[in-house]
Amino acid sequence: MATEWVVRDEKEENVFWPSSEMKKRAWVSDEKIYDDAKKDQIKFWEKLAEDGLVWFKKWDKAYVWEKPYFKWFVNGELNACYNCVDRHVKTWRRNKAAIIWVPEPIDEDVKVLTYYDLYREVNRFANALKKLGVKKGDRVVIYLPMIPQVQIAMLACARIGAIHSVVFSAFSAESLKQRIEDSEAKVLITADGYYRRGKIIDLKRNADSAVQGTTIKNVIVVRRIGNDINMVKGRDYFWDEIVKECDGYCEAEKMKSQDILFILYTSGTTGKPKGIIHDTGGYLTQAHWTAKWDFDLHDDDVFWCTADIGWVTGHTYACYGPLSNGATLLVYEGAPDYPDIGRWWKIIEEFGVTTFYTAPTAIRMFIRYGEDLFKRYDLSSLRILGTVGEPIDTDAWLWYFKNIGGCRCPIIDTWWQTETGGTLINSLPGIGPFKPTFAGKSFPGTVHTVVDEDGNELGPGEVGYLVQKPPFAPGLLHGVWKNEKKYIEEYWEKFNFRYYYTSDGAYYDEDGNFRLTGRVDDVMKVAGHRLSSAEVEDAIDEHPNVRESAVVPRKDEIKGEVPIAFVVLKHGEGSDSLKKEIIDFVVKGIGPTAKPAEVYFVSDLPKTRSGKIMRRILRGIVNNKKELGNLTTLMNPECIDEIKVVVGYKPLE
Ligand code: PRX
């Protein structure tokens, strides 16, 4: 067991470096890799694609950039499921644990699926999808909780070339419907329910109301709870019943590298979520190598990524990345604090988890429980810790490093996005540095920089827009589903196709380590979940008595940010019951993750002369910012005083 402390830099406080043991074991430990990769980025990725994946046919061209699209490994052929499952069953890994599934109820048995088990289940289920008429290129929506059928369903889609679109199980029926309609999916896969903090969540009811009037022809239902649910004859099938009649082998479809593997909807700057498109070859290459190098995955590791499969982190690090590496993946169904606050740590102790990847929000939540709680659990199996989704402050970083990592485990703070498919900016465990609040350097083979409004590159310490330079990373999005305009507007237009635009602010230090300063658009990160102001506003505006609304993020000690709503009513005055109704509209329209933490009733919202709501000013007020910026461009500056009073604005010195 590693007991050596990660070496501390003498010069700088709180900058840590890998221990000699970590360096010795790591796949990558020489920082020369960064410069080597830069010499010919395309060649670098070609080698990774070749070494890391099984291809049925080699590509003709490694990289093509035809504005607005770029392609990797053009006409190369492979199958993502084959790379995650079949290739391992041909080796000694066939009986290795692929998925250790931990149910939320403590009296229920843990299930272990070996790679062979996974192979059998995926094959059968792929045949079940075929039986329902699902073909290459068709869309399948997956609305499942964290149960092994979710990975099985994703891999089965990949096997037959169907495009999966996973929808977070805590999203509402309306959110699900919107995503089904946009993707024009044929089949929906869901469950009869799942457990969350001991309560049964009735997923099927949401599914039933969402599919009404859509393109969905069939619904496959996993029996997770065994409760009594409504099944529509001829439309709905139980998973266990349909697979029983299916063959145990299904040929893996030969997919072109640039064929779509999945669509994942995420929040943009408008009310309607956009379907981010990821391809097969490029995405899988990045998923494979980032999982291997960022988390230094070896065959004896037990990897646990706590993200829900409904988010990109779940796709890449609770499915494709670790499985393509033949790793053992731990999947936990439930809440971190059920039945008590020790649950996660007990799981780490019980299964000897070595690699643990979570969000800063979770860490900040645990800090409240003090240090003693964590001493009760043996966390000595841990080797590497990761974070993702939002900035982590120094206190949370050091707490995580000390209390969970026992000062042995580097913290890999990974910056990336739904659009980037895999991690892009972070320190590597065998190289370092591990510096609180700094994510680190660009993943080898990618180059990021910080630019001003005109696209001029800025120097160390200067805050600007974070962008990626070409050649663009293989895992980066390949379009927005049925919306090329949006794809161009949101990612390419700002800098005229010179860079990929991230919508994040950042700066870098003298050594080239990046520090993120947050989104520069109207997108919030609530407990690491991405949410747009417009989406919440649209849900609020559905209320018959709402004339208009504006939603902005307020800083929050645990969740990072929480949505705050300003509402102008059509008539009458605000009240507690109206507040509750408005919050219910948001829960119904999006889901509980989007609940506003506060609803303020005001008589007007600050607007420019062209009628655009100035959310920037509201954001300043709710965060008690002293500088609210230029107010002279406002059409109605008089409303600011009322808003300040309603919020109880106390400018910070
Ligand atoms: O603002 C950045 C923040 O999360 C955004 C992307 O959100 P999403 O698409 O939901 O993907 C999250 C999981 C990959 C980014 O634009 N973000 C992500 N990781 C970090 C981060 N901010 C600071 N530090 C990070 N490590």
Residues 608 and 500 in one domain: no
Q: Find the residues whose C-beta lies inside 6 A of ligand 1.
A: 266, 312-313, 388-391, 413-418, 439, 502, 504, 516, 519, 525, 530
Lookup: tokens for 66: 């035809």
Q: Is residue 218 part of a domain?
A: yes
Residues 532 and 484 in one domain: no
Ligand 1 atom index nearest CA of 516: 23
Q: Is residue 1 part of a domain?
A: no
- Alpha-carbon distance of 498 to 531, in angstroms, equals 27
- Alpha-carbon distance of 154 to 477, in angstroms, equals 18
Q: Is residue 231 part of a domain?
A: yes
Rounded to the nearest angstrom, the distance between the alpha carbon of 79 and the centre of ligand 1 is 28
- Alpha-carbon distance of 460 to 259, in angstroms, equals 39
- Alpha-carbon distance of 142 to 122, in angstroms, equals 15
For ligand 1, atom 15, the nearest C-alpha belongs to: 417
Q: Out of 306-310, 454-458, 518-522, which region has the weakest mean confidence (pLDDT)?
A: 518-522
Helix (H) or strand (E) segment spanning residue 358: strand 355-358
How confident is the model over 392-420, as pLDDT tens digits?
Answer: 999 999 999 999 999 999 999 999 999 99
Q: Is residue 652 part of a domain?
A: no
Rounded to the nearest angstrom, the distance between the alpha carbon of 390 and the centre of ligand 1 is 5
pLDDT number for residue 298: 98
CB 80 within 8 A of CB 261: yes
Q: Residue 5: is its pLDDT beyond 70? A: no
Matching residue, tokens 């929480």? 562
Query: Which residue from 171, 290, 504, 529 has its CB within 8 A of the most atoms of ligand 1, so it is best to mutate?
Result: 504
Rounded to the nearest angstrom, the distance between the alpha carbon of 269 and the centre of ligand 1 is 15
How confident is the model over 598-621, as pLDDT tens digits?
Answer: 999 999 999 999 899 999 999 999
Residues 499 and 536 in one domain: no
- Alpha-carbon distance of 28 to 409, in angstroms, equals 16
Lookup: tokens for 289: 């190598």
How confident is the model over 582-596, as pLDDT tens digits?
Answer: 999 999 999 999 999
Residues 423 and 463 in one domain: yes
Residues 26 and 129 in one domain: yes
Query: Which residue from 468, 530, 561 has its CB within 8 A of the most atoms of ligand 1, so it is best to mutate?
Result: 530
Residues 143 and 68 in one domain: yes
Rounded to the nearest angstrom, the distance between the alpha carbon of 238 and the centre of ligand 1 is 37
Rounded to the nearest angstrom, the distance between the alpha carbon of 517 and the centre of ligand 1 is 11
Q: Is residue 517 part of a domain?
A: no
Q: Give the chain's domain count.
A: 2
Residue 327: which of 34, 118, 28, 561 has the closest Cα? 118
Residues 575 and 473 in one domain: no
Ligand 1 atom index nearest CA of 423: 14
For ligand 1, atom 22, the nearest C-alpha belongs to: 390
Matching residue, tokens 């290795």? 96
Residues 321 and 458 in one domain: yes
Query: Which residue from 269, 306, 361, 390 has its CB within 8 A of the most atoms of ligand 1, so it is best to mutate?
Result: 390
For ligand 1, atom 6, the nearest C-alpha belongs to: 417
Q: Is residue 172 part of a domain?
A: yes
Share of residues in the chain with pLDDT > 90 (%): 94
Q: What is the mean pLDDT of residues 496-506?
A: 98
Residues 501 and 537 in one domain: no
Q: What is the CATH number of the domain that holds 304?
A: 3.40.50.12780
pLDDT number for residue 1: 34
C-alpha distances (whole Å) from 406 to each of 23, 382, 391 are 18, 9, 22
Cis peptide before 391 (omega within 30 of 0): no
Ligand 1 atom index nearest CA of 530: 10
Q: Is residue 514 part of a domain?
A: no
Rounded to the nearest angstrom, the distance between the alpha carbon of 518 and the centre of ligand 1 is 9
Q: What is the CATH number of the domain that holds 607?
A: 3.30.300.30
Lookup: tokens for 129: 């999808």
Positive or negative: CA dihedral 87, 386, 298, 512:
positive
Lookup: tokens for 512: 């080239």
Reduce the DSSP state of residue 628 to 3 states and report it: coil
Ligand 1 atom index nearest CA of 307: 13
Domain region containing 570: 527-647
Rounded to the nearest angstrom, the distance between the alpha carbon of 586 and the centre of ligand 1 is 23
Reduce the DSSP state of residue 501 to 3 states and report it: strand
Q: Is 270 exposed, middle or buried (0-12, 13-18, 19+ CB in 10 A)?
A: middle
Reduce the DSSP state of residue 441 to 3 states and report it: coil
Listed in sequence order, the residues at least 6 apart from 489 whose beta carbon sits closer than 8 Å to its beta carbon are none
Rounded to the nearest angstrom, the distance between the alpha carbon of 391 and the centre of ligand 1 is 8
C-alpha distances (whole Å) from 343 to each of 103, 303, 328, 338, 564 are 11, 17, 20, 6, 31
Q: Is residue 519 part of a domain?
A: no
For ligand 1, atom 4, the nearest C-alpha belongs to: 389
Rounded to the nearest angstrom, the distance between the alpha carbon of 608 and the centre of ligand 1 is 30
Q: pLDDT averaged over the chain?
A: 96
Listed in sequence order, the residues at least 6 apart from 243 whose beta carbon sits closer than 8 Å to its beta carbon are 121, 124, 125, 127, 128
pTM of the entire structure?
0.96
Residues 305 and 247 in one domain: yes
Rounded to the nearest angstrom, the distance between the alpha carbon of 140 and the centre of ligand 1 is 26
Q: What is the mean pLDDT of residues 270-283?
A: 95
Q: Residue 3: is its pLDDT beyond 80? A: no
Residues 445 and 590 in one domain: no
Rounded to the nearest angstrom, the distance between the alpha carbon of 147 and the centre of ligand 1 is 25
Residues 37 and 151 in one domain: yes
Residue 357: which of 300, 299, 278, 416 has the closest Cα? 416
Residue 314: which of 400, 383, 389, 255 has the closest Cα? 389
